[in-house]
Amino acid sequence: MADAAVHHDIAGVYEPSLFGTYSKKIGMWLFLASDSLTFGALLFAYSYGRVSNPSWPTPFGKESIINATIMTACLLSSSLTMVLGVLAAHRGDKSRTRNWLFATMFFGAAFVVLHGMEWSKLIHEGMTPFTNPWAPSVPQFGGTFFTLTGMHMLHVTIGVIYLGVVALRKKFLPVLLLLWLIGWLATPASNVFHLGVHVLLIGAVVAAMVLFLHPKDYDSHDVEVSGLYWHFVDLVWMFIFPLVYLMSTRV
């Protein structure tokens, strides 16, 4: 009887995959499609304010543009190292895959640090989510700028944690907690990142839940899916950089 149950003809019950590929990849693509609408809404909110206010501030001088250009180069280079990591993963070269993932994480972390410095400079000049010193009649500049770039910075940070988990699994948790502790103690209490660095602690808790509740050895498909997320983060910046920085240069 048991054999009869096992050999049921179920071929017609399960449909083939929607796009002829594995479900993890389709899941990530659908998430990215929804996330692109989130970023689209934030970009359009910023652009709406920009179009409807002729006195929109232009606070980004030479130093800021150079900084943002280096940040862009960091993200583009991280995409290259990521795709080389995916290539190595498909070849089955685990050691090289891990090294490429580390390089990607390094560029991502460099981006976050540079962006944090840019934020700190703007805040030091008097910019808040509700006011800015360059155009007091345009209070929404700070709100739209910080929301858009903050959301992106959060995505990059989550991406670095994601890649760390894929590369090192449980070994990444103490590294992440150490980074959180260093970041928390090294930033002055008056700095916005003294609170913001707790994202790393939340990330460590979530990563620990995933790693302990669903332990597994990540394969080349997992590396490819994490790569899709990482390239999306890079892709979004390709629109933020010209819209926010290059259209508001003060030369």
Partner 1 sequence: MHTVAATHDERKAQYFWVWGALLILTGVEVFLAYERFFQPVRMLEVLMVLSVIKAALIIAYFMHLKFEVPFMRFMLMAAIVACLCLMCIFFADAMRILSLGVK
Residues at the interface with partner 1 (CB under 8 A): 18-21, 29, 33, 36-37, 40-41, 44, 47-49, 51-52, 54, 65, 69, 72-73, 76-77, 79-80, 82-84, 87, 91, 224, 227-228, 231-232, 234-235, 238-239, 241-243, 246-247, 249, 251
**Cβ atoms of residues 243 and 47 within 8 Å:** yes
Nearest distance from C-beta of residue 117 to partner 1, angstroms: 19
Nearest distance from C-beta of residue 82 to partner 1, angstroms: 7
Task: Report the alpha-carbon distance of residue 211 to residue 169 in Å, rounded.
Answer: 7
Comparing CB distances to partner 1, the nearer of 30 and 186 is 30
Comparing CB distances to partner 1, the nearer of 53 and 191 is 53
What is the 3-state composition of the chain as percent helix, strand, coil, each rounded to the nearest 5? 75, 0, 25
Nearest distance from C-beta of residue 211 to partner 1, angstroms: 26
Task: Report the alpha-carbon distance of residue 122 to residue 142 in Å, rounded.
Answer: 10
Comparing CB distances to partner 1, the nearer of 61 and 174 is 61
Residue 215: CB atoms within 10 A of its CB come to 9
**Helices 140-168/198-213 angle, 10° precision:** 40
Comparing CB distances to partner 1, the nearer of 158 and 208 is 158
Nearest distance from C-beta of residue 15 to partner 1, angstroms: 14
Provide the CA 197 distance to its chain's centre, in angstroms: 15
